Structure 1
Amino acid sequence: MSQPDSIAVPYDLRAGYGADHRRVLVLGGGGIFFIAWQVAYLHRLAKRGIDFGAATRVVGTSAGSVVASLVTAGRIELARAELGLLAKLPNMVAAMAPTDSLRPSQLRALELFRQASDARPETIQAIGRAALAADADPAPKLRRSIAAVLAKREWPSDSLTIATVDTYTGERLVLTADAGCSPARAAAASSSVPGLFSPQLVSDRKCMDGGVSGSGTHADLAVGAERVVILSLSAQLRAPQAMMTIHPDSLDTETQAIRDAGGDVFLRGPREAQVDTLMSPDSIPEAVAMGADQADSDAEAAAEFWR
C-alpha cells in the first residue's frame, strides 16, 4: 500500500492489514448527520482525556473520511478547534447537501446505488459507469468545500487512511500519505456519492464513494490490531435487507474477524437516525446533541478500553 500504483488493495478479512498497529480508529460513512455525530462524540471524549485520534491508523470512509482527516490533523481535540470547525461546517454542508432537484442522469446513478443488494465487481462497475455519466456538479466544488474545512493542504499524519472506489475497475482503493494527493481530494473521493457528486480524480483513477464496496467501514484494514474503535451508523441501526451494496451482516462479520484475530472491539454509533435525513443540514443540531450525550455515557467504558 506504499506506492501510488499500489493503492488498489483488495478487501480481505484474512489479510491481517492491521497487524502492525496496536490501536486503530475506524470511522464509517453516514452523510452530513454522521459527520456531525462523530465530531461531537470524539470531541466530547477528547475533552474528557480520551483521545481516539492517538491511534496509529485512522480509517475513514465517506463521511468518516472527512472526520478522519480532522482527527489526524488535531482539529477535534480542543474546544477552540470545535468552535472553529462548527463555524465552517455550514460551508461544507452547503456543498455536501444534495440539491432539491436532481437531473435524470443523477437519479439513475443514485437509484442504482441505493438498490444494489450485492458488491460483485460487475455491480460496482455498473454503479461506477452511472456515476461517471451523471451530470452532477463539477468535482472541484466538493473538493474546495472540504479543503476549506480541513484547512490543511498536506497529508496531516501517516495514520490517516482513506478508502474510496475506482469507478471503472470497481477496485477498493486505500489512500495514505504515499498516494500523492491532498487530504481534501482523498476525502472528496471517498465522499462522492454516485449521482450526487462527480467522481474525483486520484492517481489517474476516477473515484467514487468508499461505501460502494460492500463495506461502510473497511474495517478489514484493522484486522490484526489489538484494540479497534469503530464508529458506524450500523452499530445500533441495522438495515432489514441488503442495500447500497452492503449486506446487513457486514459489520458483524468485520467485528468478528477482528476478534478472531485476537483484537478487542469498541463499537458505537448513533442511537437513532433516519436514512432520509442523513444528507440534510437540518439534522445537524440533533446529531451534535446526540453525539455529545452518548460520549458522556460512554466515557468510562471508552477510557478503560483505550488505556
Structure 2
Amino acid sequence: MRTLVLGGGGPVGAAWLGGLSEGLLHRRVDVRAATEILGTSAGAALGTWLSSGEPLSDFLDAMRDRALWHSRQSHGTDPALLARVGRTAGGGHPTEEEIRQVAQAAAKGIPPRAADEVAAEWAQWLPDTPWPRLLRMVCVDAATGRPRVWQQGDGLTPATGVATSTAAPGAVAPVLLGGRTWVDGGARSCTNVDLITSPPERAGRVLVLAPVVMPSLDVETALVRKTGAEVVTVVPDERSRASLAKGIRTMADPSATARAAEAGRAQAAAEADRLRDWWRTE
C-alpha cells in the first residue's frame, strides 16, 4: 500500500505541490502510483488532477486562475479568523468543539453558498472526470466540528468535493450540501494525515507533501507511525520557503504561483533520489 497525502495551502501552496509533483514524476518518482490519495484543500484539487492523469502543467495554469479569482472577491479576507484557524488547526488534534467554533465563525462572516454553484466554478479548474476510486478529500461539518472524508460512492463529483474541502474560513464562503454546512478540511488540520483510510496494518508507505508546516504535522505522523507505517514528509526547503507567499493570508497571491511552482520543481530534484526506491518498493 502506498498512500499519498497532499496538504492545504491555497492556490500558491497548490502551485508548489503541482511543481513538486511534476518534478518528481519527471525524475521517476511516480506519485500517481499511490493506492490512496488523501487531499485537504489545495491537496484535494491536486489529488483530482493526479488521479485523472491529465498534465500537471494545466493544473498550474488553473491554480493561477484560481488565485486571480480570489483577488476579485468583494468580501476580502478576515485576517483575525485566518489566524484563529492557524492556531486551532496548527497545534495538533484540536477538539471538535474548537473546530466547530471556528467553522461557525466562518459561516457568520461570509454567507454560505450552494454546493452546485461553487462546484460549477471549480469545474473550470479541474479535469472533467468521474470520482476516482483512490481519491479522498477532507472537509469539516460546521455544525459539529467533525471531519468528513469524501470518497467514491458518496455521490459527488470531484468539483463538489473540492468545493467543500477548499471553503477556507475567513477567505471563502462555506458550502451548503445535503442540508449541512461544510468548511475547509484545513479547519482541522492542513494535512489530516491521521485520517488515511488504509487499515493500519496495510498502510505501508505514506508520503506526505505539505506546503504549510505546523506542529500538527508531527503529531499526526507520529500517530500513523505507531501503526507500523513508514512515513516520509516533504515540506518546503529554504528556496521554496523564500518563494512561497509570506504567511497564510497571502497564499492566494496570483503573483506568487509561478515562482512557487518553479521552486517545487527545483526541490523535486533534491528529493527524488531519497524517494525513488522507497516509494516504488512493494
TM above 0.5, one fold? yes
| Structure 1 counterpart of 2:224, one-letter code | I
Q: Which residue of 1 aligns with 2:190?
A: 216
- Specify every segment of 5 or more residues in structure 1 that has no aligned partner in the other structure, as ranges: 1-21, 76-80, 239-247
Aligned to 1:27: 6
User: Aligned partners of 2:98, 2:47: CA distance in 1, in Å?
Assistant: 28
Is residue 2:67 matched to residue 1:93? yes
Q: 1:111 to 1:256 in 2, by over 3 A?
A: closer
Contiguous gaps of at least 5 residues in structure 2: none
Contact 1:45 1:299 in 2 (8 A): yes
Aligned partner of 2:250 among 265, 272, 277: 277
The structure-2 alpha-carbon separation of the partners of 1:109 and 1:98, relative to structure 1 and needing over 3 Å to count, comes to farther
Q: Percent identity?
A: 29
Partner of residue 234, structure 2 = 268
- What do residues 208-260 of structure 1 show as CA deviations (whole Å, max 9, x unaligned)? 010111x22111133541101001135xx55xxxxxxxxx2x21122222222
Aligned equivalents of 1:83 and 1:38: distance in 2? 12
The alpha-carbon deviation at position 41 of structure 1 amounts to: 0.8
Residue 119 of structure 2 corresponds to which residue in structure 1?
143
TM-aligned CA distance change 1:71 to 1:174, over 3 Å: same
Match of 1:43 in 2: 22
For 2:187, what is the secondary structure of its paired residue? coil
Asked whether the equivalents of residues 41 and 186 of structure 2 are also in contact (C-alpha less than 8 Å), the reply is yes
* TM-aligned CA distance change 1:259 to 1:89, over 3 Å: closer
Within 2, Cα distance between the matches of 1:97 and 1:168? 29
Q: What SS does the aligned partner of 2:59 have?
A: helix
* Higher share of residues assigned helix: 2
Partner Cα separation in structure 1 for residue 219 and residue 57 of structure 2:
37
Q: How many residues align?
A: 265
In structure 2, do the counterparts of structure 1 residues 254 and 89 end up closer, same or farther at CA, with 3 Å as the change threshold? Answer: closer
The answer to whether the aligner puts 1:252 opposite 2:230 as a matched pair is no
1:227 aligns with 2:205: yes
CA contact (8 A) 1:60 1:163 kept: yes
Separation of aligned partners in 1, 2:117 and 2:70 = 9
1:303 alignment partner in structure 2:
276
Contact 1:153 1:184 in 2 (8 A): no
Counterpart in the other structure of 2:154: 179
* Contact preservation (8 Å) 1:142, 1:197: no
Aligned to 2:33: 54
Task: Classify the secondary structure of the residue corresponding to 1:179.
Answer: coil
Q: In structure 1, the residue corresponding to 2:153 is in which secondary structure?
A: helix
- Residue 193 to residue 89, structure 1, CA distance change in 2 (3 Å): closer
Tell me by how many angstroms 1:125 deviates: 1.8
> CA separation of 1:258/1:109 partners in 2, compared to 1, >3 Å: closer, same or farther?
closer
Question: In structure 2, which of residues 166, 169, 176 is the aligned counterpart of residue 191 of structure 1?
Answer: 166
Instruction: Tell me if structure 2 keeps the 8 A contact 1:27–1:65.
Output: yes
- Give the SS at the match of 1:158: coil
- Partner-residue secondary structure (3-state), 2:25: helix
Q: What secondary structure does 2:181 align onto? A: strand
Inter-partner Cα distance in structure 1 for 2:65 and 2:41: 18
Q: How does 1:61-100 map to 2 (within 5 A)?
A: 61-75=40-54, 81-97=55-71, 99=73
Distance (whole Å) between structure 1 residues aligned to residue 177 and residue 129 of structure 2: 15
